[in-house]
Chain A
Amino acid sequence: MSDAVITGMSVASPIGLGTEEHWKSVLAGRHGIGEVDRFDVSGYPSRLAGQIRGFEAADHLPGRLLPQTDVSTRYALAMARWALEDAGVEPGTTAGPGAPADYDMGVVVSSAQGGFDFTHREFRKLWSQGPEYVSVYESFAWFYAVDTGQISIRHGLRGPSAALVAEQAGGLDAVGHARRTVRRGTRLVVAGGVDSALDPWGWAAQLAGGRVSTAREPERAFLPFDRDAGGHVPGEGGAILVVEDADSARERGAPRRYGRIAGHAATFDPPPGSGRPSALRRAVELALADAGRTAHDIGVVFADAAGVPELDRAEAEALRAVFGPYGVPVTAPKALTGRLYGGGGPVDLLCALLSLRDGVVPHTAHTARVPEDYGLDLVRDEPRGLPVRSALVLARGRRGFNSAVVVTAPDS
């Protein structure tokens, strides 16, 4: 079966626009959490979010796309372009020898929240001015599949494409599905996830979920695996990866390979109240089996890291069961950005690939006291130099989704 390699990637997060800026912040432990400043958040129980700063949409998008895109789609479009540039692919312009044709390239992007901010503005017009004032672009700007569609249209990527929704697990599932698409014969797939819902309506919806931290100090608000964990901070952004058939990459002389997607698995939890354990452990085992690897082969785990004590405990249990107590270094750089929902898994995947490249595992900032019985070797305080050859990335989506991806060094 053909190999799926990563030949390009990009990120837009509260701690960086672009791969190297984000990675530098991760290794420096620089967080991007602060009080929401896009509306008056003072009356809400939760006020902190990871917000992207300094993103001027008009600098990154053609003017024609501005009236029809939500902020999340603008991030998706900017990242897709950066990732394709990174991969050395310019659809439509370099149909030279070896270059993939339009039907050889697909798009699979996950969004958990859709276009909240755009929709909120249009709803305001609906209620205050009347239905005929609502933008015709509302018809698709809200929709979970819009990122996939807009990326496909902008770059002329006409191959098999999809949108996946599985809350925070969706972004890893999208990458898993991209690999499946490549194995079915599509040369290249633009894959990943992105989310943003920091308008009043989106904020209310997030708070209604009951897992958003009410802490007021950015360094104390999202403490994955800490005994003081009290929920998560919502963030915005995501990552886009170019998942490509290894032969295709060779054929066109791709400038780089960050790694291989060696394994993927998705599982679904039993219904609440069943008494049966979470299916996260099974996702890990299935992803390892899919990769033809054992627990011993994994150099680091990028955890889902919910920041909610019972969920942290469940994840720690699954990792202990597979790797043994303190059996593998575990980390959660998302402490710096907040949870990015559809974008979360792909950002972790990007960091995992950079860990393989640079031989360094980022730390989990802010978390200080991990309960002893978790049995976790959590990388804390500072990055750890480790010559990792393979990494496991985990994501859980609310209401039962589990997703696991194994990535390995490009030459392994």
Chain B
Amino acid sequence: MTEPMDMNTLRRILVACAGEDEAAAPAGDILDVPFTDLGYDSLALMESAARIKQEFGVDIADDVLTELETPRALLDLVNGSVRAGRPAEGVRVA
């Protein structure tokens, strides 16, 4: 089954919300690259989370969001919540 949100979608959202640059362009395999290494700080993640809520109806609490270290962790949380129909703690699915 296809995941509700894949890496390309997350990449698009990250770039739209927080930009990209040559130094740490989110091209290539970044699934396990920490957000801090990618240059995305807590504000960038909050901005991206707002977009994820608008597009996927998954609302991630700020304190949960700040614990997510990599794109994979973010994808797992969103997709897991949607698939299970039973959101993880700190997550609401519309």
A residues neighboring B (CB under 8 Å): 62-68, 132-133, 135-137, 139
Is B23 interfacial (CB-CB < 8 Å)? yes
A-side interface mostly: helix
Is B37 interfacial (CB-CB < 8 Å)? no
Q: Is the CB of B21 within 8 A of A63?
A: yes
Q: Is the CB of A137 within 8 A of B43?
A: yes
Q: Is the CB of A67 within 8 A of B18?
A: yes
13 pairs of residues in contact across A and B, judged by CB atoms under 8 Å: A62-B21, A62-B22, A62-B23, A63-B20, A63-B21, A64-B21, A66-B19, A68-B19, A132-B53, A132-B54, A136-B47, A137-B43, A137-B47
With contact pairs A133-B50, A133-B54 given, residues A64 and B39 touching in the complex (Cβ less than 8 Å): yes
Q: Is the CB of B39 within 8 A of A67?
A: no
Q: Is the CB of B46 within 8 A of A136?
A: yes
**In the assembled complex, which residues on chain B have CB atoms less than 8 Å from the CB atom of A65?**
19
9 closest Cβ pairs, A-B complex = A62-B21, A63-B21, A63-B19, A64-B19, A136-B47, A136-B46, A63-B20, A64-B21, A67-B19
Chain B residue at smallest Cβ distance from A130: B54
Q: How far is the CB of B72 from chain A (nearest CB, A)?
A: 22
CA distance A132 to B50 in the complex (A): 7
Chain A residue at smallest Cβ distance from B23: A62
Is B17 interfacial (CB-CB < 8 Å)? yes
Q: How far is the CB of B14 from chain A (nearest CB, A)?
A: 10
Mask for B73-86, Cβ within 8 A of A = 1, else 0? Answer: 00000000000000
Q: How far is the CB of B50 from chain A (nearest CB, A)?
A: 6
CA distance A284 to B50 in the complex (A): 52
CA distance A135 to B47 in the complex (A): 6
Q: Identify A64's interface contact among B18, B50, B53, B54, CB under 8 A.
A: B18
Q: How far is the CB of B43 from chain A (nearest CB, A)?
A: 5
Chain A residue at smallest Cβ distance from B17: A67
List which B17-31 residues lie within 8 A (CB) of chain A.
Answer: 17-24
Besides A63-B19, A64-B19, 13 other CB < 8 A contacts? A62-B23, A63-B20, A63-B22, A64-B18, A66-B19, A67-B47, A132-B53, A133-B50, A136-B43, A136-B47, A136-B50, A137-B43, A137-B47
Q: How far is the CB of A140 from chain B (nearest CB, A)?
A: 9
**In the assembled complex, which residues on chain A have CB atoms less than 8 Å from the CB atom of B19?**
62-68
**In the assembled complex, which residues on chain B have CB atoms less than 8 Å from the CB atom of A135?**
47
CA distance A168 to B53 in the complex (A): 43
CA distance A67 to B48 in the complex (A): 12
CA distance A136 to B47 in the complex (A): 6
**In the assembled complex, which residues on chain A have CB atoms less than 8 Å from the CB atom of B43?**
68, 136-137, 139
